[in-house]
Structure 1
Amino acid sequence: MRAPDWLIARPVAHRGLHDPARGIIENMPGAMHAAISGNFSIETDVQLTADGEAMVHHDDELGRLTEGSGPLLAKTSTELKRINFKDTPERMMSLGDLLALIDGRVGLVIEIKSHFDGDRKLVARVAEILKTYRGPVAWMSFDPDQVLAMREIARGIPRGITAQRTYDDGEWLALTQAQRDGMRHLRHAFRTRPHFVSYWVKELPAPAPWIARNLFGCALLTWTVRTPEQRAITARYADQMTFEGFVP
């Protein structure tokens, strides 16, 4: 299965079309409504909760955008829906809430957030929720094991790998050397069989995404495009961009 045409037909709004200066916060209902109004596809993140629900949130801990603190994995979906977001009346959505909001009007790209511990419950829960959804949707993850789980659990949903060239700094140092080596250069691709690659725009051009796109027919998206220069890189080396901070 090749990536669907809708995936590269329109720019993809990173965590919705958010604009903090106007009180529109990432991954919140307002950001999703703004993206729909602009006819942009939406990229969003989901995290697993203590009761096995998929909640729409990028960080695995509360505090950057919300009141409170602590990992989402230690709280239930009911608890999370009660937590206020800073400087906005909006609250966290479940994936089911988001699908009801979008209702098939634009494409949705779901990033499965992972703790790189082999736990596949989030993929299983998302697959269950998507069984009854009829809108255009795809999913992806940085974690090759999660992408492999997508292939094994729900082959019919277009899957992608979020990637960059190296994993030798920052939060990646928490992974084992073997995990980081396995992520480099899309080495896992013959196991995970992604339909698309979402690649860090700052590291293009690069051999691995070029091969994936030009030899194996994978659609190539970039993340996260914020400047005219990065938009030009996308136009030269990729099929579509995931953007924020401006309106294409």
Structure 2
Amino acid sequence: MARPDLPQAFVTTPISHRALHGQKANCPENSRAAIRAAMDAGYGIEIDLQLAADGRAMVFHDDVLDRLTAQTGPVRNRSAAELGAIALRNGDGEGIPTFAEVLETVAGRVPLLVEIKDQDGAMGADVGALERAAIADLAGYDGPVALMSFNPHSVAELARLAPDLPRGLTTSAYDPAVWTALDAPLCDRLREIADFDRVGASFISHEAGDVARPRVQALRQAGVPILSWTIRSPAQEAEVRRHADNITFEGYLSPLPG
């Protein structure tokens, strides 16, 4: 399967995790305020997508509302309009944005790394609705953008829907004690990034504490761009950059290229 090239901006510009949140008041993760802050500072932006009840792609990390808002229950049970009216915690009252709105705001100014969240929690093959919504919103978008997911089935669906868009696998050490919804054989397969060629991935974004893994470094030696998540200090960044081409960071300000 053909692999679209990952734009060079994704390996030269540090990427703010869930946008540049928490560096000032009223700037929660995946919010309009955090997206504007990242653009103003010149950073790339990583965001997450979940699916609304009416099929719209929403910029939100969790599959439930409880942690990030004063509401409870699954995101997928609310319409885009309902989600847009739910205020984010630690914000200025703004609600959950649609992906389409974020694309209009970013407008190609900085690299945009988009994670399609796994919709069943078990890396299953029942994918398509969120991927279709994301690709529909991206129609005509002009700017550096790349899509990724932990779920290889999702990345394969992205390849089918939009073969020219760069796509990658979000990858991890897949410790079964952490990934309790997955059985050990599936953890083993995902840990070894066995689906990389099958899905035509252009890059991986790998867990910081595991980035020196031989499989990851073999991909890097083969010319595959390696991103790494989530970097939380300058010291950790210095260590991870020995093994990765770029980082996704939060909680501090990563140095921008000169």
User: What range describes the TM-score normalised by the shorter chain of this pair?
Assistant: over 0.9
Q: Tell me, what secondary structure is at the counterpart of 1:148? A: helix
> TM-score under structure 1 normalisation?
0.95
Displacement of 1:86: 2.3
1:149 to 122, 140, 157: 157
Q: Which residue of 2 aligns with 1:195?
A: 202
1:113-124 aligned at under 5 Å gives the runs 113-114=117-118, 115=120, 116-117=123-124, 118-124=126-132
The one-letter code matched in structure 1 to 2:167 is R
Please give the root-mean-square deviation of Cα atoms over the aligned residues, in Å.
Answer: 1.4
Q: Tell me, what secondary structure is at the counterpart of 2:198? A: helix
1:174 to 163, 170, 181: 181
Displacement of 1:55: 0.2
1:247 to 230, 243, 253: 253
Q: Which residue of 2 aligns with 1:207?
A: 214
Question: Could you report, residue by residue, the CA deviation over 1:54-95 in whole angstroms, capped at 9, with x for unpaired residues?
Answer: 000000000111121000111111111111222421111000
Q: Tell me, what secondary structure is at the counterpart of 2:197? A: helix
2:227 to 218, 221, 226: 221
Q: Would you say the 8 A contact 1:201–1:233 is kept in 2?
A: no
Matched residue pairs, number?
246
* Aligned-partner Cα distance in 1 for 2:17–2:159: 24
The one-letter code matched in structure 2 to 1:42 is I
Q: Which runs of 5+ in 2 are unaligned?
A: none
- Does residue 1:112 correspond to 2:120, yes or no? no
Q: Which residue of 1 aligns with 2:6?
A: 3
> TM-score under structure 2 normalisation?
0.91
Distance verdict in 2 for CA 1:21–1:105, change over 3 Å: closer
- Does residue 1:127 correspond to 2:135, yes or no? yes
- Does residue 1:61 correspond to 2:68, yes or no? no
2:171 to 163, 177, 182: 163
Q: Which residue of 2 aligns with 1:17?
A: 20
Displacement of 1:131: 1.3
The one-letter code matched in structure 2 to 1:98 is V
- Does residue 1:73 correspond to 2:73, yes or no? no
Displacement of 1:178: 4.3
The one-letter code matched in structure 1 to 2:32 is P
The one-letter code matched in structure 2 to 1:82 is A
Displacement of 1:23: 2.3
Q: Which runs of 5+ in 1 are unaligned?
A: none
